[in-house]
């Protein structure tokens, strides 16, 4: 089966206008849902189908969710974005900036062509510092005490620092935290001594790549992109990972007979892991060890939906997350039909800001 481009374009356009009922419980995550729709259209080279009026309206909506808050001691301010304005207009704990919403908001603005000039970068730097924990990992908000303190938040922080070209707090602590999360199987876990997971492994490797890049640009001119061929040899990830061979073996074993990938040992395949696993192997320069034809067949013949979009597994309805990540997985190995994409950050290369 071929990629049904027109159906996929229509799928993302519909979701940008009106979200179906199953998304109701994710209402507070509209910033993320919008990102997956915009990313999907851009991967299909169809973002120009968005009208100038809609583009400007969406940019203004994003900035309405930009929050500047006072630190607890009132001697500083920190800033970021929230996922959606819930619970009225007063700034409560539930309304404070979140790492995830901030990362998605910045990516959305770049996809829509905004120059990010309205963002107080120093205040966002302060936000990252407030979210970092003594172990080098991050919590989701400045006031959070127990939720989401794992590899995902660290990756979001490195993405924010990279896209805004701002300093990253205590790089050495975060670097060591990541390395401590590689487990006996070879993959990385969300927290030390936990089960290896493909999503956590991608977050770990991408964070390492971005941190290495942040370190390197402090000593030399800034790099235009983050791809392996743009980074000096002595900044290769293999130089830092305790057991690269075991890691690559574990990643390759995630490919199933179907051609798709699972995220953990003894689990079923899932469209999104075609992105997480391939992205990890791309970062390691080891994508030659999997069957790209089988991945393509799995996505196009099993999870590509007649309505447009991609589902998690065959037989389910499509959703915007699996649809955009399914397209990204195809784009990794096809620059003829897709734009060139970044490996460590989920954006087409043409959308990356150039601070040189």
Q: Residue 70 falls within a domain, yes or no?
A: yes
Nearest alpha-carbon partner for 331 in 346, 314, 316: 346
Q: What is the pLDDT of residues 15-24, one digit of tens each?
A: 999 999 989 8
Percent helix / strand / coil, the chain, rounded to 5: 50, 5, 40
CATH number at residue 138: 1.50.10.20
> How much is the pLDDT for 195?
97
> Dihedrals φ, ψ of 12, to 5°?
-70, -35
Q: Which two tokens stand for residue 178?
A: 């990541």
- Look at residue 221 and tell me whether its pLDDT is greater than 50: no
Three-state DSSP class for residue 226: coil
Q: Residue 37 falls within a domain, yes or no?
A: yes
Q: What is the pLDDT of residues 188-200, one digit of tens each?
A: 999 999 999 999 9
Mean pLDDT of 224-252: 72
Query: Can you say how many angstroms the Cα of residue 352 is from the centroid of all Cα atoms in its chain?
Result: 13
In the chain, the number of structural domains is 1
Q: Residue 144 falls within a domain, yes or no?
A: yes
Q: What is the pLDDT of residues 73-82, one digit of tens each?
A: 768 899 999 9
Q: What is the pLDDT of residues 304-336, one digit of tens each?
A: 999 999 999 999 999 999 999 999 999 999 989
**How does DSSP assign 229-274, residue by residue?**
GGS-GGG-GGGT-TTHHHHHHHHHTTB-TTS-B-SSTT----HHHH
Query: 148 or 272: which carries more pLDDT confidence?
Result: 272
- Look at residue 339 and tell me whether its pLDDT is greater than 80: yes
Nearest alpha-carbon partner for 228 in 238, 218, 236: 236
Q: Residue 33 falls within a domain, yes or no?
A: yes
> How much is the pLDDT for 293?
97
Mean pLDDT of 80-87: 80
Q: Residue 356 falls within a domain, yes or no?
A: no
Q: Which two tokens stand for residue 66?
A: 């930009």
Query: 277 or 224: which carries more pLDDT confidence?
Result: 277
pLDDT band at residue 89 under the 50/70/90 scheme: low
> How much is the pLDDT for 130?
95
Place of tokens 């790209």: 292
Q: To the nearest whole percent, how much of the chain has pLDDT over 70?
A: 91
- Look at residue 232 and tell me whether its pLDDT is greater than 60: no
Q: Residue 97 falls within a domain, yes or no?
A: yes
Q: What mean pLDDT value characterizes the chain?
A: 91
Place of tokens 């800034």: 222
> How much is the pLDDT for 239?
82
> How much is the pLDDT for 90?
53
What's the domain range around 97? 5-351
Place of tokens 């959703």: 319
Q: Residue 60 falls within a domain, yes or no?
A: yes
Mean pLDDT of 39-67: 97
Q: Residue 135 falls within a domain, yes or no?
A: yes
């Amino acid at each position: 089966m071929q990629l049904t481009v027109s159906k996929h374009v229509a799928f993302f356009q519909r979701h940008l206008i009106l979200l179906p009922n199953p998304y109701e419980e994710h209402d507070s995550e509209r910033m993320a849902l919008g990102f997956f729709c915009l990313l999907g259209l851009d991967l299909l080279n169809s973002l120009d189908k968005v009208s100038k009026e809609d583009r400007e309206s969406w940019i203004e909506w994003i900035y309405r969710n930009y929050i500047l808050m006072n630190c607890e001691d009132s001697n500083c301010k920190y800033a970021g974005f929230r996922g959606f304005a819930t619970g009225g207009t007063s700034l409560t704990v539930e309304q404070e900036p979140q790492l995830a919403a901030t990362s998605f908001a910045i990516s959305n603005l770049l996809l829509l062509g905004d120059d990010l000039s309205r963002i107080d970068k120093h205040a966002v730097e302060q936000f990252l510092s407030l979210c970092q924990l003594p172990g080098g990992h991050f919590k989701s908000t400045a006031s959070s005490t127990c939720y989401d303190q794992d590899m995902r938040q660290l990756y979001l922080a490195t993405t924010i620092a990279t896209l805004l070209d701002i300093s990253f707090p205590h790089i050495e602590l975060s670097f060591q935290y990541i390395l401590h999360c590689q487990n006996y199987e070879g993959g990385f876990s969300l927290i030390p001594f936990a089960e290896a997971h493909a999503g956590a492994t991608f977050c770990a490797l991408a964070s390492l790549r971005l941190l290495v890049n942040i370190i390197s640009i402090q000593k030399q001119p800034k790099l235009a992109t983050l791809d392996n061929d743009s980074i000096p040899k002595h900044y290769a990830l293999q130089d830092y990972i305790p057991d690269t061979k075991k890691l690559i073996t574990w990643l390759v074993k995630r490919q199933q007979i179907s051609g798709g990938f699972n995220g953990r040992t003894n689990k079923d395949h899932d469209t999104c892991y075609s992105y997480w696993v391939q992205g990890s192997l791309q970062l390691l320069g080891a994508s030659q060890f999997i069957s790209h034809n089988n991945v393509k067949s799995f996505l196009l013949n099993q999870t590509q939906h007649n309505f447009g979009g991609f589902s998690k597994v065959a037989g389910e309805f499509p959703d915007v997350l699996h649809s955009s990540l399914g397209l990204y997985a195809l784009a990794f190995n096809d620059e003829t039909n897709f734009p060139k994409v970044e490996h460590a950050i989920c954006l087409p290369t043409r959308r990356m800001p150039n601070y040189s």
